[in-house]
Structure 1
């Protein structure tokens, strides 16, 4: 084979390999959706959910296969994904590896916190094989999804699920790039419509502790919103029933308090 032709073939191969790696990954996350549809139980008209961990344990081979597909994605392939694809990948990875973490001790635990200790949390150990390294769940959430300047989207807090009753629901399908923004908007509305975790009562807003822990994320200018009261004003109709209370929230004049977080396992026993 002459040298120019050989060089052209090598160049074509070098371009095709990363493209093939990207195309080889299932961005529909179909395997994860199949598991979620089978084992997620919706509560309160879809405002909350529980997981059938016993059933997921029976389907562990399918879960492991999906996790392996996530772990097989290289750093260069991930970099070639569009931002919605990256966000969907990371959110699904966080949720699926969290389920895997629960199964390491299920049914002998009442909370994900049982997997930690007085000196360490279950989110700190670097055991997740992802993007060419062993990372922690915190690395996925805080190091990537919340990293300033990367996505700057507070709605991720309504999508990642920490296997706890107090956490926004585990969605009954995978997040996918094509519908990501609609899915995130729906997750936000579902969570803020759940009066067990967010409500206007006794003359003030009583909100999930998530808005206290991550309040700064709701001030980053997403959709032009630069304060937590301004963000909550968009959900006034979900948070209150009385017209006067709704107007108070919309006017950003409602005091805001935070509820205790329920760390009990979101298990559908």
Structure 2
């Protein structure tokens, strides 16, 4: 009889351990930890005397064909992308990967990295479609694909996190970068209908910032409560040079200039699909 009691006790302990592990795993997968801005110095070089330009026409062709605007959301018709256009998208990404971005001017580099990031993200979704959220990619123990090696440039493997947090954020120190890179989610700032170029980057960044802040997914006021995108919580340090998050937001939403009420955060990871 004692053996059965001991066996039952052991099973109960194992079940408790298993349950604890599942809870821990679920919590880790459900919590997004924002990476810090940490420079990868190899990519810091540029050539300001360069006259080389990068064509992003293939990316523009894709956006023209498959990006649609519905209300405050810019959505992608993933289910409609044909094999020819999937191949063209991969060709565009491979073309960028064949270049050495360090030979470009800073202006060309910024468009290069942002367009590459967004094209790779869309390509990842297409390779795994249908899927409800980008957070489902990356493996069982991962929250999304951001730490996967997704491209090799100059014989160096890069992840999406490398591009955003080790190149774009630390080199440019521009909080508007958060409105430029797109994570294929409804809560994310919209993927712009125009590919970035050295000439249109400044205008598009301001347009993207204004669109997001004036949308309910960016900033929503209700009485004395402001519900902000979680981007402003995850990356609040990036807005310090502008006087903080609320000072930055007030540039595009002046009524928040003197706001001192309650602040809440929210983010929608559902796929940005039509």
Provide the residue aligned with 2:226 in structure 1: 205
1:191 deviates by 0.7
Q: Is 1:253 matched with 2:270?
A: no
Q: Is 1:232 matched with 2:255?
A: no
Provide the residue aligned with 2:134 in structure 1: 112
Which of 54, 63, 77 aligns to 1:36? It is 63
* SS at 2:87 equivalent: helix
Check conservation: 1:112, 1:263, Cα contact below 8 A.
Answer: yes
- Most deviating of 187-196 and 49-58: 49-58
TM-score (norm 1): 0.78
* SS at 2:68 equivalent: strand
Provide the residue aligned with 1:67 in structure 2: 93
Take 2:79 and 2:99, find their aligned partners in 1: how far apart are those partners?
28
Check conservation: 1:48, 1:191, Cα contact below 8 A.
Answer: no
Which of 40, 54, 59 aligns to 1:27? It is 54
TM-score (norm 2): 0.76
* SS at 1:164 equivalent: coil
Check conservation: 2:213, 2:252, Cα contact below 8 A.
Answer: yes
* Residues 25-76 of structure 1, C-alpha deviations (whole Å, 9 max, x = no match): x5241111111011001122xx4201111233431121111111111112xx
- Listed as ranges, the gaps of 5+ residues in structure 1 are 1-17, 238-245
Check conservation: 1:233, 1:252, Cα contact below 8 A.
Answer: no
Q: Is 1:49 matched with 2:71?
A: no
Take 1:215 and 1:118, find their aligned partners in 2: how far apart are those partners?
29
* SS at 1:100 equivalent: helix
1:251 deviates by 2.3
After superposition, the Cα gap between the structure-2 partners of 1:253 and 1:152, relative to the gap in structure 1 and judged at 3 Å, is same
Where does 1:146-225 land on structure 2 (aligned, <5 Å)? 146-147=169-170, 150-219=171-240, 221=241, 225=242
After superposition, the Cα gap between the structure-2 partners of 1:160 and 1:57, relative to the gap in structure 1 and judged at 3 Å, is farther
1:118 deviates by 4.4
How many residue pairs get aligned? The number is 225
Provide the residue aligned with 2:167 in structure 1: 144
* SS at 1:146 equivalent: helix
Check conservation: 2:217, 2:228, Cα contact below 8 A.
Answer: no
After superposition, the Cα gap between the structure-2 partners of 1:254 and 1:234, relative to the gap in structure 1 and judged at 3 Å, is farther
Take 1:64 and 1:255, find their aligned partners in 2: how far apart are those partners?
45
Check conservation: 2:67, 2:74, Cα contact below 8 A.
Answer: yes
1:165 deviates by 0.8
Check conservation: 1:71, 1:129, Cα contact below 8 A.
Answer: yes
* Residues 180-199 of structure 1, C-alpha deviations (whole Å, 9 max, x = no match): 11100000001111124421
Take 1:230 and 1:136, find their aligned partners in 2: how far apart are those partners?
32
